[in-house]
Amino acid sequence: MLARTLEGAIILLCLGGLFLLDSLWATGYVTAALSTVVAASALYEFGRIAGRPGDSAVVSMMLGGSVLVLAQWAGCAFHNVFPDPWTVTVALLCVGALGALGGRAVRGRIEGNAEAVSITVLGLIYVAVPLGLALAIRVRWGLVGFITMLAVCKATDIGGYYAGTLIGGAKLSPRVSPAKTVAGAIGATVAAMALAVALSSFEWSIMRPLAGLVYGLLLGPVAIAGDLAESALKRQAGVKDSGNLLAGHGGVLDAVDDVLFAAPFSYLFFTLAALQ
């Protein structure tokens, strides 16, 4: 627990410095660069747990995912120059799927075509599109909106970890993640609600406290679902962590699995909250 806490504190300090630098530009150049690196790393790990280490398709997926993230960001940040990001997103997903299938056909591949293309498309939808939506939050609601989403999401991770460790009790999903408990899920949601309400109390907040309360209440289960979804993928692959980059947290995909579910939900919630 101590090692994980210390590592988390170091990560927070590093992120704080990057966000401070990112605040110099409204378009979020630093966040865009960081998200692109995260997308490529997470897609590499996704390819690994999908059972395709070293496959050239994984490299193509990494490159395609990076382009997809940057295209979503550029379309939001420079909408007068670049085309609509969501139309481009659909087009790039089609190009990725059809390109993967066509490439295998040209190389004379017969077995496993549907599975290989499905892995590529799932990787892009699972990793790249949500990170692009996180950048859309950064552009549309500023660094405050991005940090709100990230902080409340990570509060679920911290609250769930400590509540589950200290209280224990009934397992939440023993087949998928034996370490997760019902108490941890409750602690995760309570932590998300508390932090969301606290952040909503400031004058510069993008939400009012009531909206923050609802946001935290809903984001808690969403983030937990993201964590469990990645655990299911790892369970199928027979690995404990997606990677070993972060000693106390596993790989990059392990660190952002909850964010991948939280970003699309947060984009929709912030949009609806802004209409009130």
Per residue in 123-174, pLDDT tens? 999 999 999 999 999 999 999 999 999 999 989 988 998 888 888 788 888 8
pLDDT at 199: 94
Residue 229 has pLDDT above 70, yes or no: yes
DSSP 84: P
Pairwise CA distance, residues 73 & 263, whole Å:
14
Q: Which two tokens stand for residue 83?
A: 């085309």
Short-list 25, 146, 137, 128, CA closest to 70: 128
CA 236, 239, 245, 248 torsion: positive or negative? positive
pLDDT band at 220 (very low <50, low <70, confident <90, very high): very high
Please report, for the chain, the start and end positions of each structural domain, with discontinuous segments joined by +: 2-275
Residue 171, H or E segment: strand 171-173
CA 40 from centroid of its chain's CA atoms: 12
pLDDT beyond 80 at 274: no
pLDDT tens across 153-163, in order? 989 988 998 88
Please report how many Cα atoms fall inside a 13 Å half-sphere around the Cα of residue 121, on the Cβ side.
16
Residues 6+ apart with CB under 8 A from 100: 57, 60, 116, 117, 120, 121
- Which is higher by pLDDT, 60 or 109? 60
Answer with the residue of higher pLDDT: 83 or 30: 30
Q: What pLDDT is recorded for position 165?
A: 84
pLDDT at 81 over 90: no
pTM above 0.85, yes or no: yes
